[in-house]
């Protein structure tokens, strides 16, 4: 079943990528009490993710925060070391990287994709959401191969 607006995010273990090393976090605790601009990419360092998706949220971070977003977070089915390296290369301190290494979050949300044709295996699909105190208030899921509704620009229009 795919998550929808009004649902609460599932409580799964994610790994926050930090400069001090990986830090396990429970999504239920992490998203509690704050408004988060959350976006998911099929993979760190992949073309659209690196050229458009992450950079858009970096560029629009202050605009998002000015409209009430407390935190911006990116999730992907990658390990925390890759997520940290990607953030150091293409991201910023404005974006928190949450590794979903086993795909537990993607599966629990019902937002997976099969990247086997590209050697990627099962991944999370491309989407974004505004999450307020753990509840999904906006959800923007991309069609396969698209990048439109999950962008930071689109999200700004929803706030």
Active site residues: 49
Strand segments, DSSP code E, in the chain are 13-17, 23-26, 35-40, 71-76, 95-99, 112-114, 122-124, 127-132, 135-141
For CA atoms 127, 132, 136, 137, the dihedral sign is negative
For CA atoms 154, 120, 5, 145, the dihedral sign is positive
Show the tokens assigned to 33.
């009490």
Distance (Å, whole) CA 82 – CA 80: 5
Q: Is 8 helix (H, G, I), strand (E, B) or coil?
A: strand
Show the tokens assigned to 15.
């790994």
């Amino acid at each position: 079943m795919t998550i929808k607006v009004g649902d609460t995010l599932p409580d799964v273990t994610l790994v926050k990528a930090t400069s001090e090393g990986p830090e396990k976090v429970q999504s239920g605790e992490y998203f509690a009490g704050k408004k988060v601009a959350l976006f998911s990419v099929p993979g760190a360092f992949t073309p659209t993710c690196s050229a458009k998706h992450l950079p858009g949220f970096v560029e629009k971070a202050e605009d998002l925060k000015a409209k009430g977003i407390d935190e911006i977070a990116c999730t992907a089915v990658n390990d925390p070391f890759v997520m940290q390296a990607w953030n150091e290369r293409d991201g910023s301190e404005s974006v928190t990287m949450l590794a979903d290494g086993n795909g537990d979050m993607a599966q629990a949300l019902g937002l997976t994709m099969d990247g086997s044709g590209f050697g990627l295996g099962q991944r999370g699909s491309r989407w974004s959401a505004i999450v307020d105190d753990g509840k999904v208030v906006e959800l923007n899921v991309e069609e396969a191969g698209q990048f439109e509704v999950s962008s930071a620009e689109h999200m700004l229009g929803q706030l």
